[in-house]
Amino acid sequence: MNRIQSGWMTLLLAGACLIAMNVHSQEEANYDESKVPSFTLPDPLFCQDGTKVDNAGIWTNKRRPEIYALFASQVYGKTPDKKVELTFEVFDEGEALGGKAIRRQVAFYPKAEPHQPRMELLIYIPKAASGPVPAFVMPNFQGNHTINADPGIHISSNWMTEFRKDDKNKDTDPESTRGKASSRWSVDRILDAGFALATIWYYDIDPDYDDGFQNGIHPLFYDAGQNEPRPDQWGSIGAWAWGLSRALDYLESDQDIDGSRVAVMGHSRLGKTALWAGASDERFAMVISNDSGCGGAALSRRRFGETVNRINHAFPHWFCDNFNRYNNNEDALPVDQHMLIALCAPRPVYVASAQDDRWADPRGEFLSAKYASPVYRLLTGQGLNASEMPDVNQPVQGRVSYHIRTGKHDVTDYDWEQYINVASRFLK
C-alpha cells in the first residue's frame, strides 16, 4: 500500500468509525419518556438579578440582551464585532424555470480578498410579481445546483475542492447531482404563492468539518496573532448564521424583493442555524425551524435523543468551546432552547418536527415553542395555541406555530405548505 492508498484507507476507516459511532449513539440514546429526568427550566421572564419582566421595555432593554449574550458566550459563540467589507456581484440574471421565474445569482466575497471565500446566493423571483415580494431564505446542504435541476445554476468552485474531499463524493461528477435535493425545495409552490426563494450553500460560508477554523470565513475575523476562535467565539453555526445575514444585506438592496419581509428557514443543523440567525439579526421577519433538534429547538435538559455531550463530540466545530461545559451537565446551562425561540419574539416563529425523527426530540421541540410563548404573549398577546402536543399532521398555527408531521427527518412539500400558509398571513 503506497502512502496515498494508506491515506485513503485511514480516511475510510475513520469515516466508517464515525458512522458506526453515530448509529451506535443513536441506538443508545434515551427514547423512553419515563426516563426523561425532571428539571427546572430557566424562566425567560425573570432577569438574572431577579427582576420580573412584566412589560415590553424590560424585555427589550434588559432581559433579551441578557439571554442573547448567554447564548452567544455559552452556546453558539460570539460573532466578532469586526466588520468585513464585502463585494456583491450579480453574475447571472434571466428567465428560468420555463418562464415562471427570474433567476438571479449573486456572488459575495471580501473586498480585500477577492477570491476566497466566495459565497453564492441563488435567487428565484416570481416572474408574475408586480412589485417587491416577500422571500424565504434557506441555506442548503449540498450545493445550490442540487435544489433544482435548472441547468443555469452555477456550481460552486468550492464543491470541486471542499466537497470532494469527502470520500463519498470524491468521484462524483457535480453535473450528476443537479436537482438531487429538489424534493426538499417546493420551488413551484413558493413562487406560485408569490414568494421569492433565496439559497446559499453552507459550505461556501464555512465547510462543515473540523479543521480548527482555518477555512471558511473565520480567519477573516482573527485579531493579529489569533488563529482560532476563543472559547466564547463562534463556531460553524455562528458563521453560517452570519452568511445568512449577508444574504439578507443583499436581498435588502434587490429591487424585486422586500427586505423587510424575509423569512429565514433551515433544516436540521441548518435549522439550528436559522434559529440563531433569527435571534442574532432582527431584520429577519419570520423564523422557521425544520427538525432542528438538539442545539436547535429541542430542550437540552430533556436529554431525549441527541444530547449536548453527543453533539459536542460528534461535531466539535458547530458550537463554541464553552458549550462543552454542559456535556452531561445540562442543568448548569443558564439558558435552554425555549429561550432561543423567545429571542425571535415578537416576530412569527414556526417550529416543526417529524414523527420518526426521535433523535431530534419532537416533544422537546414542541415544549420549546410552548415555553417561549409567555414572552410572545407579553409582547403581542399571542403565543402557541396549544398546551398539549397536537396530533400528527394537525398544525397549530399563529404567531407561534408548531406541527409534527408523519415521516422522517426531512423537508417535505407538506412542511412548505404550512410555512407558506403562515408566511402568507404575516408577510403579505
Closest CB to ligand GTR among 126 and 266?
A: 266
Residues 213-272 that bind ligand GTR (CB under 6 A): 268-269
- What's the CA gap between 315 and 208, in Å, rounded? 9
Burial class of 148 by CB neighbour count within 10 A (0 to 12, 13 to 18, 19+):
buried
Q: Closest Cα partner for 411 from 354, 344, 373?
A: 354
Residues 63-92 that bind ligand GTR (CB under 6 A): none
| Binds ligand GTR (CB under 6 A): choice among 121, 193, 237, 294 | 294
Provide the grid cell at 30. Answer: 434515551
Closest CB to ligand GTR among 59 and 323?
A: 323
- Which DSSP category does 347 fall into? S
| Binds ligand GTR (CB under 6 A): choice among 311, 333, 352, 420 | 311
| Least distance between ligand GTR and beta carbon 104 (Å) | 28
Q: Annotated active-site positions, please?
A: 268, 409
| Least distance between ligand GTR and beta carbon 269 (Å) | 3
Provide the grid cell at 26. Answer: 443513536
Closest CB to ligand GTR among 125 and 308?
A: 308
Question: How do 119-126 and 86-96 pair as beta strands?
Answer: unpaired
Closest CB to ligand GTR among 96 and 270?
A: 270
DSSP bridge partners of 403: 352
Closest CB to ligand GTR among 261 and 269?
A: 269
For the chain, give the longest Cα–Cα distance: 69
Closest CB to ligand GTR among 273 and 373?
A: 273
Please report whether residue 300 would count as binding ligand GTR according to CB under 6 A: no
| Binds ligand GTR (CB under 6 A): choice among 120, 254, 306, 365 | 306
| Least distance between ligand GTR and beta carbon 117 (Å) | 21
| Least distance between ligand GTR and beta carbon 142 (Å) | 11
DSSP string across 109-155: EETTSSSSS-EEEEEEEETT-SS-EEEEEEEESS-GGGS---TTSPP
Please report whether residue 293 would count as binding ligand GTR according to CB under 6 A: yes
Total binding residues for ligand GTR by CB under 6 A?
6
Q: Closest Cα partner for 42 from 299, 361, 380, 353?
A: 299
N-terminal to C-terminal alpha carbon distance within the chain: 62
| Least distance between ligand GTR and beta carbon 345 (Å) | 24
| Least distance between ligand GTR and beta carbon 314 (Å) | 6
| Close Cβ partners of 151 (under 8 Å, ≥ 6 residues apart) | 178
List of residues contacting ligand GTR (CB under 6 A): 268-269, 293-294, 306, 311
